[in-house]
């Protein structure tokens, strides 16, 4: 694998912190520099790959050593402005869920997170699979995207927007603050 310019320690951190720290560190690098992000969060591989692509960087891959994932990202050039994704507060979303059982909810967390508890009726497609499974989704109605904190669902919404989906609403924060009914 390529030699990193800088190594970032994100071990022990859960979503969205590896991305938050990576984004901050990337701001200090020059285009072409390589950042190694060391993480223990299993979902960080899909998260960082998706974030890298959406931010104009190149995700070079992941090497696993024991419990530590070593992700390599090459900083890209000047980034274009990202298209805005609509957001809804978790409180407003919870009220909508209580009032309307026909909402289309897309949960983009990893399988173990989804199985630990999800909103009844939510469709599960992990962030790393959204791009390839987009055609399973409807373009005719609003899609409410949710994850643990709101960051992965924002990345998923960006991927869907690139595929022509328009009615996308990111729920912020996500399941980490959900107080409504859940299924396991």
- All domains of the chain in start order, with CATH: 6-74 (3.30.110.40), 86-177 (3.40.250.10)
3-state secondary structure the chain: CCCCCEEEEECCCCCCHHHHHHHHHHCCCCCCCEEEEEECCCCHHHHHHHHHHHHCCEEEEEEEECCEEEEEEECCCCCCCCCCCEEEEHHHHHHHHHHCCCCEEEECCCHHHHHHCECCCCEECCHHHHHHHHHHCCCCCCEEEECCCCHHHHHHHHHHHHCCCCCEEEEECCHHHCCCCCEC
147 is catalytic: no
Radius of gyration for the alpha carbons in the chain, expressed in angstroms and rounded: 17
Among the listed residues 4, 8, 10, 15, the single catalytic one is 15
Average pLDDT, stretch 169-182? 94
pTM above 0.75, yes or no: no
Chain segment 12-31, per-residue pLDDT in tens: 998 889 999 999 999 999 99
When the pLDDT of each residue in the chain is averaged and rounded to a whole number, the result is 92
Chain segment 92-126, per-residue pLDDT in tens: 999 999 987 689 999 999 999 999 999 999 999 99
């Amino acid at each position: 694998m390529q030699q990193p310019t800088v190594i970032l320690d994100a071990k022990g951190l859960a979503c969205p912190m590896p991305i938050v720290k990576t984004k901050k560190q990337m701001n200090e690098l020059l285009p072409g520099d390589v950042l190694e992000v060391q993480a223990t969060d299993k979902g960080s591989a899909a998260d960082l790959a998706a974030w890298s692509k959406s931010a104009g960087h190149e995700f070079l891959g992941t090497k696993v050593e024991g419990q530590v994932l070593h992700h390599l990202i090459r900083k890209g050039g000047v980034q274009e402005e990202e298209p805005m994704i609509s957001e809804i507060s978790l409180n407003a979303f919870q009220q909508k869920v209580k009032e309307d059982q026909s909402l289309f909810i897309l949960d983009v967390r990893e399988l173990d997170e989804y199985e630990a508890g999800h909103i009844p009726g939510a469709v599960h497609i992990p962030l790393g699979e959204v791009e390839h499974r987009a055609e399973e989704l409807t373009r005719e109605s609003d899609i409410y995207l949710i994850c643990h904190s709101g960051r992965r669902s924002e990345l998923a919404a960006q991927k869907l927007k690139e595929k022509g989906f328009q009615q996308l609403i990111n729920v912020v924060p996500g399941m980490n603050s959900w107080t409504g009914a859940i299924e396991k």
